[in-house]
Amino acid sequence: MASIKLTINGQEVTAQPGQTILEAARGAGVDIPTLCHHPALKPIGACRICLVEVSGQRGLQPACTFPAANGLKVETETDKVNQARRFVLELIFSERNHFCMYCEMSGDCELQKLAYRFKLDHMIYPTYTQSFPVDASPAYHLLDHNRCVLCRRCVRACAELAANHTLDLRQRGAFTMVHADMNLAIGDSSCVSCGTCLDVCPTGALTDKRSAFMGREEETERVRTVCNRCSLGCGVEFVLRGGNVLRVDGDWDSAVSHGILCKKGRFEPLYEERRRVLSPQVRRNGRLVDVSWEEAVKGAAAGLGAVEPGKLGVLCSSGATNEALDLLQELFVRRRRGARLGLLNGMAPNLGNGSRGTLAALAEADLILVAGADPGEEQPVASFLVKRALDRGARLILLQGGRTGLEALADTVCGAGEARKAVDAAREASRPVVLYGDGMDAEAAAAVKSLEGEAVFLALQPGVNTARAAALGMRPGIDPKGLKALFVQAGEDRWDDENLPGKLGGETFVVVQASYRSSLTERADVVLPAAVWSEMSGTLTNTEGLVQKMNRATQPRGQARADWEIVQLLADKIPG
């Protein structure tokens, strides 16, 4: 379609069909202030801060909702416009408690910046006339109704982005409040702690508990990287001050998640309570003692290199970077031929390679078949995207999955022996998408595979970098019987097999590369301290096959080192 020509402040501007005046103006570098608007959300024109004069219109119009059209003449900075914006701000400040000096967001608040811009230096109307509650029931954030301006960004983000529909408004007029479900405390509601509402709130109403009062935005730095909590590879930003991680935000420019995160990626790593492994250790006289890296690597290499390859085992975390996996493959498969190499987690079967798709396919799907996967637990952002599709009218069929969190939304739930029923229903759809994991039996996998060519397939791989591990020929687990030496690249995994000593036997030489202490490190003969997510650089391959770069945000604690660096040290010492 032909582009649109309009005039903004005397300047001819080109817009695309479907764009609003606000979008056209920002595309041309013209600043129109907003408060309720967010580029990731549908505009609703609630705050009226973006009012502009439009030729042929009787009154001022909200730029965020008024469609751009050929021949429009728009003025954004007239006295009439600025007086209206100032009046709106005065009314907003007259409700609730917006005493900025006591607010956590002072200095970073969009409302405060607008007040400075329009030179509000005192309250025109009576304020602080009523006290509103503070809901601190959620584990990771709180909602202070005294700071809320009812922009509804949080409500819209919960519905449009996370598709969870937890938040809404209740009551009317000056008593209107954001509430969860049927006016429950957020901590008791259907909230999934994705934190999307925190990313979009323009004031101090929604506050991250951990980073509150820890510094203004100008005092922090941001490092973009990739989440390593599941196989989706969502984009994140570490927010740092003084070399410490204050919080994790979503990256709105991420090619995978477009700013959406789940609690596994946003909150849980910052609340880790396990004890770190901070120095290399070797076992002497039955006890683990701290040693230098040189001594630990020398001891590990001697023990691993002394056994014949057929009696050498390697267990690897799928959280390992591409670089670490490649080095493990080189060292233990090509150079030490016969070594048993396996993953600590499962792996989805090889289905539908000719119809391999991406998460973006869910936006066009009219039917989604989730087979043998548990997105609600393992890949929560994928479950958000599924729910978005359901909001647009798509149907959902579940086949041989765990507790996906989607059961209540499914049209059909199929168990063992019902794979054909699920596949037949998918075949009737125009644009079916199959999300599959490692939870299907052979019969179900064969039935689902018959949809190849008719449906878009996307594996929801368990673990993190499982797609790269599969491409290298790795498979889940190893048989520990008869092993004389075992190297476990555990990383940050919680894998902690209490039965491992009995399976291995007391004489098996064990080297563990880990970030946290566990019964596994207590059994080891050599322990090598591994860096955690925020301390590493490298690349990961997500479940779509997309290779993404991880950027180190903080220095490794103690003597910890990146996974690939540790494997390289071993490779330099172990003979070929």
What CATH number does residue 59 fall under? 3.10.20.740
Are residues 449 and 404 both part of a single domain?
yes
Whose tokens are 């945000």? That residue is: 553
DSSP track, 437-495: -S---HHHHHHHHTTBTTBEEEE--SSSSHHHHHHTT-EE----TT-SEEEEEEET---
Are residues 387 and 314 both part of a single domain?
no
Q: Rounded to an integer, what distance in angstroms lies between the CA atom of residue 447 and that of residue 460?
A: 18
Q: Is residue 276 part of a domain?
A: no
Are residues 178 and 225 both part of a single domain?
yes
Are residues 16 and 142 both part of a single domain?
no
- Write down the pLDDT at residue 1: 63
Q: Where are the beta strands (DSSP E) in 233-311?
A: 235-241, 244-250, 281-284, 287-290
Q: Is residue 87 part of a domain?
A: no
Are residues 340 and 261 both part of a single domain?
no
- Residue pair 167/179 in contact by the 8 Å Cβ criterion: yes
What's the Cα-to-Cα distance from 441 to each of 373, 410, 437, 453, rounded to whole Å? 12, 21, 11, 22
CATH number at residue 266: 3.30.70.20
Report which DSSP code applies to 356: B
- Write down the pLDDT at residue 265: 97
Domain that holds residue 166: 129-271
For residue 46 the two structure tokens come to: 């609630």
Q: Is residue 544 part of a domain?
A: yes
Low-confidence ranges of the chain (pLDDT < 70): 1, 354, 496-502, 576
Q: Total structural domains in the chain?
A: 4
- Tell which of 410, 428, 460 closes a domain: 460
Q: Is residue 99 part of a domain?
A: no
Are residues 259 and 326 both part of a single domain?
no
User: Helix axis angle, 419-427 relative to 442-449, nearest 10°?
Assistant: 10
Q: Where are the beta strands (DSSP E) in 9-102?
A: 11-15, 51-54, 61-62, 73-75
Q: Rounded to an integer, what distance in angstroms lies between the CA atom of residue 51 and that of residue 232?
A: 40
Are residues 164 and 248 both part of a single domain?
yes
| H runs (alpha helix) in 472-554 | 500-504, 519-523
The residue among 369, 368, 363 whose CA lies nearest residue 388 is 363
Q: Is residue 108 part of a domain?
A: no
- Write down the pLDDT at residue 174: 86
CATH number at residue 323: 3.40.50.740
Q: What angle do CA 199, 204, 208 make, to 5 degrees?
A: 55
Are residues 173 and 253 both part of a single domain?
yes
- Phi and psi for 542 in degrees, rounded to 5? -80, 180
- Write down the pLDDT at residue 59: 96
Are residues 482 and 343 both part of a single domain?
yes
- Tell which of 271, 297, 323 closes a domain: 271
- Write down the pLDDT at residue 446: 95
Q: Is residue 120 part of a domain?
A: no
- Write down the pLDDT at residue 501: 60
Whose tokens are 């309720």? That residue is: 36
Q: Is residue 547 part of a domain?
A: yes
Are residues 403 and 483 both part of a single domain?
no
Are residues 141 and 246 both part of a single domain?
yes
Q: Is residue 117 part of a domain?
A: no
Are residues 163 and 259 both part of a single domain?
yes
- State which amino acid sits at residue 466: T
Q: What number of helices (H) and strands (E) belong to the chain?
A: 16, 28
- Tell which of 460, 482, 510 closes a domain: 460
* pTM, 2 dp: 0.95
- Write down the pLDDT at residue 125: 84
| H runs (alpha helix) in 56-148 | 79-94, 110-117
